[in-house]
Amino acid sequence: MATTPAVTTILNLVAARMALITTTNEYNYTITNIKRASLKPWKSEDLPAINYWSTGLGNVKNAYQDDERSIPLFIEAHTKTHDENFLDVASKLASDIVTAINRAAASPKVSDDESFDLGGAVSDLLFDGYDHEIGEGQEPWCGVLVRFTIKYKTSIFNMITYSV
């Protein structure tokens, strides 16, 4: 019997929310190239694009002998500047990411109600901030690295299931 780790399931929920970023859903950009933990640099024709990953898993035991887990999440987005100010483009990318991660897959529009816990899958989703990224050359690009912390609970030593 194959089992999917809880972290993988949660990261799949993140990917589903990043796929919501389209101009049809009232976002600034349409992101069609979404990868998890890719080490390959993007080519100009790949943009706009998102790469997301976690850097580990934190764990503490609570008073009820349950494990309280935390996942540091990084979402990096790049697009071409199209002669627009790079700070404005980076801010739009960050806004799209933060908004999308807080929307339900069934209610994907910017104007839809918020869902602050990945549809009830996690106990907390914290926005930790973002940094600008700039690339020069013949086809200038800019981007943003957005940081989150995802928290969930599970029974002790359980790597498969999770709860809020």
CATH topology of domain 6-155: Alpha-Beta Plaits (3.30.70)
pLDDT of residue 1: 47
Chain position carrying tokens 């850097």: 55
DSSP string, 4-63: --HHHHHHHHHHHHHTT--GGGT-S----EEEES--SPPPGGG-SEEEEEE---EEEE-T
CB atoms within 10 A of CB 51: 22
CA 20 to CA 38: how far, in whole Å?
20
Tokens of 141: 């690009």
Q: For 68, phi and psi rounded to 5 degrees?
A: -110, 115
Tens place of pLDDT for every residue, the chain, 164 residues?
468 999 999 999 999 999 999 999 999 999 989 999 999 888 888 899 999 999 999 999 988 788 999 999 999 999 987 778 889 999 999 999 999 999 998 999 999 999 999 988 899 999 999 999 987 766 678 899 999 999 999 988 888 877 65
Can you name the residues that pair with 36 across neighbouring β-strands?
A: 52
Residues 6+ apart with CB under 8 A from 14: 52, 73, 75, 101, 118
145 bridge partner residues: 76, 131
Strand-pair partners of 146: 75, 130
Here the tokens at position 122 are: 């996690």
pLDDT at 138: 67
